[in-house]
């Protein structure tokens, strides 16, 4: 696989390291003041986009102009551009796997959280909440992963309908989900979903020790795209994880 990694931040470096562990030599392009020229993407099998939200659209336009038709996008804060990017990919016969977090463990966690929210939602005494902690320098809050976990809670819960508004004093309304973000130190990421009742508290927690799991998932997404022809447009990482889980079960691991 000839991979080009856009973004030389922590995630871009982790993806490049994951590729090198497989004996491949990715090209890592940093964050230019505008965008990368189409020629930078010549002969690329896949482009890994891990730069910044405002650069996703121009970078994919340049990648398409340079001839690349396979993309893995893990950058956050570009949702406003998603319809335009989806149309561009379809127009050029290109495909992309998109996720706010490429950790297979986070993806499975999201599925567990959705199921737990539905079950605990039937028990009014159990109040859900969400806590996430990242390094001091992380720009977005809540994180993209926290937003996705929160979405799954709201989707499954019969009462909670929106995130609590932290700008107001007092407790959250009955239909609000309490979401707390901590930005301190150098933690690569911790997400905790809890259901608290007067007599007990149940917690589902994922703590990242480093970014290797995220990188593993991004590379697995690239492999999935290259393994068979895929429908042009945007694909969810869920499909990649579905295949990974099926392989594990087929191998006797449950």
Query: What does the pLDDT look like over 21-45, one tens digit per residue?
Result: 999 999 999 876 667 899 999 999 9
- Give the residue ranges of the chain where pLDDT is below 70: 32-34, 247-254
For residue 212, the surrounding DSSP H or E stretch is: helix 212-227
Q: Which of 18, 99, 52 is nearest to 29 (CA)?
A: 52
Angle at 108 between CA 103 and CA 113, to 5 degrees: 120
Q: Which of 36, 134, 160, 191 is catalytic?
A: 134
Position 69 scores a pLDDT of 98
Tell me if residue 138 is catalytic.
Answer: yes
Return phi, psi of residue 108, to 5°.
-65, -40
Contact 97, 230 (CB under 8 A): no
Strand partners, 207: 190
**Structural domains of the chain in order of their starting residue, each with its CATH number:** 3-102+211-250 (3.40.50.720), 104-207 (3.30.360.10)
Q: Which of 148, 150, 203 is nearest to 179 (CA)?
A: 150
Structure tokens that stand for 254 in this block: 């449950």
Residue 173 is classified by DSSP as P
Position 254 scores a pLDDT of 40
The 10s digit of each residue's pLDDT in 224-246 is 999 999 999 999 999 999 999 98
Position 3 scores a pLDDT of 97
DSSP string, 119-171: HHHTSTT-EEEEEEEE-TT---SS-HHHHHHHHHHHHH-SS--EE--TTSSSP
Predicted TM-score (pTM) of this structure: 0.84
């Amino acid at each position: 696989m000839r991979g080009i990694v856009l973004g030389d931040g922590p995630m871009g470096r982790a993806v490049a390291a994951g590729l090198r562990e497989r004996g491949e030599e990715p090209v890592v392009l940093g964050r230019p003041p505008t965008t990368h020229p189409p020629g930078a993407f010549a002969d690329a099998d896949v482009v890994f986009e891990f730069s910044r939200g405002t650069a996703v659209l121009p970078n994919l336009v340049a990648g398409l102009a340079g001839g690349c038709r396979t993309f893995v996008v893990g950058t956050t804060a570009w949702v406003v551009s998603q319809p335009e990017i989806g149309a561009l990919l379809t127009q050029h016969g290109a495909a992309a796997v998109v996720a706010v977090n490429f950790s297979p463990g986070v993806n499975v966690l999201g599925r567990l959280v959705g199921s737990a929210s539905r079950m605990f939602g039937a028990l009014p005494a159990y109040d859900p909440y969400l806590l996430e902690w990242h390094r001091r320098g992380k720009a977005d809050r809540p994180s993209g992963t926290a937003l996705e976990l929160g979405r799954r809670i709201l989707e499954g819960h019969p009462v909670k309908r929106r995130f609590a508004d932290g700008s107001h004093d007092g407790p959250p309304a009955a239909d609000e989900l309490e979401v707390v973000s901590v930005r301190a130190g150098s933690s690569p990421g911790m997400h905790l979903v809890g259901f608290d009742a007067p007599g007990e508290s149940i917690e589902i927690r994922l703590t990242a020790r480093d970014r290797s799991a995220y990188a593993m998932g991004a590379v697995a997404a690239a492999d999935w795209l290259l393994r068979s022809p895929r429908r042009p447009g945007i694909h969810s990482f869920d499909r990649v994880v579905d295949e990974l889980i099926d392989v594990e079960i087929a191998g006797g691991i449950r």
